[in-house]
Amino acid sequence: MDDSITQREVPGDGGDTSDGVNSMLVHCDGEIAVNAIRHLVASGKVSAGDAKLAIGHCRAATNKTSLAAEKAVPSNTIMVNQTIRKKVVEKPLSEAKYRTRHVALQFSYDGTDFTGFAQNVGKEYDNSVEKALFAALEKTRLLVSPDEQGMLVMNKDEELVVVGKCGLHGATDLNMSARTASKYSRCGRTDKGVHAHGQVVAIYLKSAFPLMAQHAKDEIDDDDDDNAGGTLLEEDSLPKNSLDGLKCLVPSKQKSKGGGRNVAKQSSLQQKIITEYDYPRILNNVLPPAIRVLGWCPVSSDFSARFSCSSRTYRYFFPRRNLDLCAMARGLQYMMGRRDFRNMCKMNCEQVYNFERILMKGKVVSPQQIYVASMEEENTTIQDGISDAHASPRDMCHVEIIGQAFLWHQIRCIMSILFYIGRQLESPELVKQLLDIETHPAKPSYDMASETALVLQHCQFNNLSVGRTVRNLWDVTKVLERRWENHAVAAERARDALESMKGETEVRWIDVVEFVEQIADSRRRKERKSINKSMTIDDDSEIRRELERRYPGTTMISWASAMNIIEDLLGVYPHPSNGSSQDQKGQTESTLHVPIMERAKGTTYEEKVQSILGEGNNGKSSKRRDRYEENVIKKRKTTEEDQAFYTRMLQQGGSSG
């Protein structure tokens, strides 16, 4: 019920209603009316179903009176208790309102062409996954506007309340956007170019079941007097998937005399078997192929895709190349448990003050072996992989990390560190140093790993069972198979070109010698400059002796043999460093590695906060300070409060059957 209009006449239904009663109802505001209905339901004199039907009739009749009254006041306003307010046109509950359901959607997307998952509303450059998702919801009309939604339900305290998509108790705020009213929540916020296979969002969507649908007589207990005339369908009685039908009574539709659209005739009901909308197939028909909805299920009203998630699993894919996977696993083992990761993330001090996160399990996976790191073990354990073939530099591997939650860019920073360890430029003990916040409170300078190989693999919920249909999964599989084939064919073309060049191309031996000596000379100059300008580093003789030893005895040499000599003598490779992105420029064969802990350090968290609080009153600085106060100071909770909140949220969920 909408209590924003506090003085409203409720017309009679054709009986001998006295003027005294009418007068009382005219001065009865929305809150009093709701309390009166609750009292009647609690007393047992009126059933919840009867109350819902009565309210539907009253709101329909009240709408006519409100529209007539609005003509007596200036355009776009109505007079309420001597207060001028914006005009609110309220449609009848029985005719214009839609039933909505709180559902969880699980979907997969290739983030290559997207600017990230989260939508930047109003930004021209925005090409986010969320923008495409909401465009599909609006196109399919599954996203119901605030003035078209609403549902009367009994809450857990046996109170009659009005619940909209936003889950508001009491009247729905008609001024909010459809997105806000949908009580939308997301599990993970992936960056530009990052992908997902198990992303989950929760949202209130339009249901196939009319708001005024009732139980069919053979669907109720005949011994229950309250149900003798049929009662409105409650949320718990609706199907939990798109396969099971439900027999129910719905208002019949009758052609209007003017030849207009069909309208529901409240007094006439017809029996139908209705199945819930197949949300995944409906959305997949209009979404771009890069985004595929996998399944759905109804969830509790308090369910949050973000806060009800118990753990998230990320995977980062990479070719083996010359990496030491065992060393990478030892570094990953040091990260297990509750750690402060401020040196392995991008600090967002305006919103985050706690940089401790829990990593529960990790894996470094190759076709031949799996290195497992966990909280329960001090050292990594080794398991057999899926292949007995000899290890190859072209083997595709991945790192899997499972944690409760993650910081901004945390996975990409972790992978960058692990790649340094895998290339044997750093030892696994580097992780211990970065996690020692007391000794090293500031993050050293290093590049993040590329976003293109990162996937949000799975979002785990304690009480969520997402339903999937054979028809939808078949269609999704066809799209994913086509995507795999396109990428696999492109990869094979590149591999074939590489192998052809190695086996069919020859170069001059003297050219190989000159290339090696040029790179070695460039390195010496950089080493001399970085260590001591007066220091002389002379290894010309060693390089020349090694080249003379490898002389093939001919003027020409195959490109495969030349590559082996260059890689062995210089320790460089023609492929980019694992995890490097196109943004990481300046990497050449003569680049020298500076140990991570010897590099320049950034500002500490405390210094960043002092900078925010100490800034002047210019626009940008003021906004940063306001965001810090709003997101950190005002919202900071005690450990006990946080524990109670997450305990309650982890209990939320739903099932598909």
Which residue, chain included where needed, has tokens 């969507």? 205
DSSP 220: S
Whether the CA torsion 179, 183, 189, 195 is positive or negative: it is: negative
* CA 504 to the chain's CA centroid: 48
DSSP, collapsed to helix, strand or coil, labels residue 323 as coil
Q: What is the three-class DSSP state of 561?
A: helix
Set 191, 278, 340, 395: catalytic member: 191
Q: Give yes or no for a contact between 240 and 246, defined as CB atoms under 8 angstroms apart.
A: no
CA 206 to chain centroid: 21
Concerning whether 324 is annotated as a catalytic residue, the answer is no
Rg (CA), the chain: 33
The separation between the first and the last C-alpha atoms of the chain, rounded to the nearest angstrom, is: 32
What the block records as the tokens of 245 is 């039908």
CA distance 128 to 120: 8
SS3 (DSSP) at 30: helix
Token pair of 567 as six digits: 């890689």
Residue 187 and residue 309 in contact, taking contact as beta carbons nearer than 8 Å: yes
Distances (CA, A) of 513 to 173, 292, 545, 550: 77, 53, 11, 10
Structure tokens at 570: 């210089």
The residue type at 623:
K
Give Cα separations from 636 to 339, 353, 630, 642 (angstroms): 20, 9, 9, 9
Q: Where are the beta strands (DSSP E) in 385-490?
A: 396-403, 454-461, 463-465
Report the distance separating Cα 263 and Cα 271, nearest Å.
Answer: 17
Cβ atoms of 326 and 342 closer than 8 Å: no
CA-nearest of 354, 406, 352 to 632 is 352
Tell me the residue type at 605. Y
The token pair at 170 is 């009491």
User: Minimal CA–CA distance to 194: which of 128, 259, 141?
Assistant: 128
Residues identified as active-site:
191
